């Protein structure tokens, strides 16, 4: 059996899960998902997405509700009773394996493999997995995207993402949006940002050309905030292109989900990034 334990936020986990599903298909092994609820993502997968049919079994641990009994049970399962729940390849090993162009299909020779990481690790020609939101989230997406007409997605990442903040300033988004409007005055924009002041600034500048969510819950540690982020992600994916933030997995994932181009608002070519 192949086991995937995706790490990070929504998009990091989706990239890892996408690779695991593709690898599982290729090597002909059933896929088990270990989903950890923590400060990076504060709800279960099925709280915002439908369970992919390719997942044979899901095991979930909630580290936000971490009583001593739950912690003891977790440690017993992972380190005493079920050694197959311990990672065989964790983030640093996977990073090195990707760097060395490791043949992940060779893992078919192993009886069990447990991969723990938060990014794409398996290169293949398959399209990005068509993840589907749960019903109530999809209804919100449909309500917003029904307003789309010649719409471009704009994702302005801030808060905890230093490269996006430094190399994709808001002024560059404004300049590019003005250019796109001059080229085609019928253009509208769906704007997603993790800072409400940024969204408000863009709305003030472009008025009725802007479509956006209202009354958002922001953060990562609540199910409602994750649902709101999922709505943003799939709405961006439903546009004709994404104007995104440098090195943001959210921008990149929207492009992969919608199979649309992603253009980054970038202040300089090949910047020297320091996290």
Give me the pLDDT at residue 51, please. Answer: 97
Separation of CA 271 from chain center: 23
Joined tokens for residue 187 = 């253009």
Q: What does each C-alpha distance from 34 to 13, 27, 55, 61 come to in angstroms? A: 11, 19, 10, 8
Residue ranges of the chain with pLDDT lower than 70? 80-84, 161, 268, 270-275
Give me the pLDDT at residue 168, please. Answer: 87
What pTM does this model have?
A: 0.91
Q: What are phi and psi of 125, to 5 degrees?
A: -95, 5
Q: Among positive and negative, which fits the CA dihedral 159, 236, 183, 188?
A: negative
Report the DSSP pairing between strands 151-156 and 31-37.
unpaired
Give me the pLDDT at residue 188, please. Answer: 98
Give me the pLDDT at residue 81, please. Answer: 63
12's CB contacts (< 8 A; 6+ apart) are 6, 118, 119, 249
Q: Residues 206, 177: contact at Cβ < 8 Å?
A: yes
Question: Burial level of 251, CB count in 10 A (0-12/13-18/19+)?
Answer: buried
Give me the pLDDT at residue 272, please. Answer: 64
Give me the pLDDT at residue 75, please. Answer: 76
* Nearest-5° Cα angle at 18, 16 to 19: 65
């Amino acid at each position: 059996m192949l086991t995937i334990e995706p790490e990070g936020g929504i998009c990091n986990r989706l990239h890892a899960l996408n690779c695991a599903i593709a690898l599982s298909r290729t090597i002909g092994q059933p896929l088990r998902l270990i989903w950890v609820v923590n400060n990076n993502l504060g709800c279960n997968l099925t709280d915002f997405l439908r369970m992919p049919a390719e997942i044979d079994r899901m095991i979930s641990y909630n580290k936000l509700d971490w009583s001593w009994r739950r912690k003891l049970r977790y440690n017993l399962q992972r380190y005493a009773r079920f050694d197959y729940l311990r990672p065989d390849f964790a983030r640093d090993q996977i990073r090195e394996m990707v760097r060395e162009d490791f043949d992940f299909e060779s893992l078919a020779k192993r009886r069990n493999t447990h991969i723990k990481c938060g990014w794409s690790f398996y290169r293949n020609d398959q399209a990005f997995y068509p993840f589907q939101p749960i019903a109530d989230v999809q209804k919100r997406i449909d309500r917003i995207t029904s307003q789309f007409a010649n719409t471009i997605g704009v994702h302005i990442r801030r808060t905890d993402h230093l490269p996006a903040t430094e190399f994709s300033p808001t002024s560059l988004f404004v300049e590019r949006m003005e250019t796109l409007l001059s080229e085609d005055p019928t253009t509208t924009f769906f704007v997603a940002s993790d800072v409400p002041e940024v969204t408000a600034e863009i709305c003030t500048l472009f008025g009725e050309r802007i479509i956006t969510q209202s009354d958002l819950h922001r953060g990562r540690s609540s199910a409602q905030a994750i649902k709101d982020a999922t709505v943003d992600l799939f709405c961006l994916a439903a546009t004709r292109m994404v104007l995104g933030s440098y090195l943001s997995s959210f921008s990149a994932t929207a492009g992969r989900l919608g199979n649309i181009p992603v253009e980054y608002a970038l202040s300089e070519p090949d910047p020297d990034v320091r996290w």
